[in-house]
Chains A and B, each alone.
Chain A
Amino acid sequence: EVQLVETGGGLIQPGGSLRLSCTASGFTVSSNYMSWVRQAPGKGLEWVSLLYSGGSTYYTDSVKGRFTISRDNSKNTLYLQMNSLRAEDTAVYFCARLNHEGDYFAYWGQGTLVTVSS
């Protein structure tokens, strides 16, 4: 059974850093397209970042240069390093595994809440 469990969220001051983790089971992270998707309070879903199985990374414009997606194959875990956090980064962050072609989000974790506030 595919499972994704996110951890690492919390309250952080503007300008601070946070690292989110997504531990996977039931499949191999390094063999799949993996993403982070976020949802601000009362808003719709927003794609944040993508990690190809081959290692290429992609980001939505608003987080380029501030967020870094990565994985640890030995831990079967996906990460999102978030630096220079802003109030508008406040959201529930979901880890998701895409389908094999990297089109849609086939499996999701429960999410972890990041609140950026002073």
Chain B
Amino acid sequence: EIVMTQSPATLSVSPGERATLSCRASQSVSSKLAWYQQKPGQAPRLLIYGASTRATGIPARFSGSGSGTEFTLTISSLQSEDFAVYSCQQYNNWYTFGQGTKLEIK
């Protein structure tokens, strides 16, 4: 099983600032990596697939990068609606998710 590890567990950032979230795979997943946003009591929402392709309707302030075992989700200028939990998911070998990074208001 491919283990996905996200860091940090919690990230405190002020609105308008940049947030950088990390995701590491225990073995290479090529670019088969997706990112999701989840707010309390809501369904996850697909943000990024293929490590760097934004899903339909996702604002340009969200960007993904990386390949192999190291991936990054960057939110360039945080809006109030962006404070949520973010999870990465690999689909190179079945499906496994990271434990999530909680992005909170500083």
Contact = CB atoms under 8 A, between A and B. Distances in A.
B43 A47 contact: no
A110 interface: yes
A15 to B, nearest CB: 27
B47 to A, nearest CB: 10
A88 interface: no
Contacts of B84: none
Contact of A103 (B32, B55, B97, B99): B32
A109 B41 CA distance: 11
Given A45-B44, A105-B34, A106-B55, A99 B89 contact: no
A60 B95 CA distance: 9
A46 B46 contact: no
Interface size bucket, B side? 20 to 34
Interface residues of A, number: 20
Nearest to A108: B43
Contacts of A104: 34, 46, 49, 89, 91
B45 interface: yes
A45 B37 CA distance: 12
Given A104-B89, A105-B89, A94 B97 contact: no
A103 B87 contact: no
Instruction: Give 7 closest A-B pairs by Cβ, nearest first.
Output: A108-B43, A104-B34, A47-B95, A44-B99, A45-B97, A103-B91, A104-B49
Interface of B: 32, 34, 36, 42-46, 49, 55, 87, 89, 91, 94-100
Interface of A: 35, 43-47, 50, 58, 60, 94, 99, 103-111
18 contacts: A44-B98, A44-B99, A45-B44, A45-B97, A45-B100, A46-B97, A47-B96, A50-B95, A94-B44, A99-B49, A103-B34, A104-B46, A104-B89, A105-B44, A106-B46, A106-B55, A109-B43, A111-B43
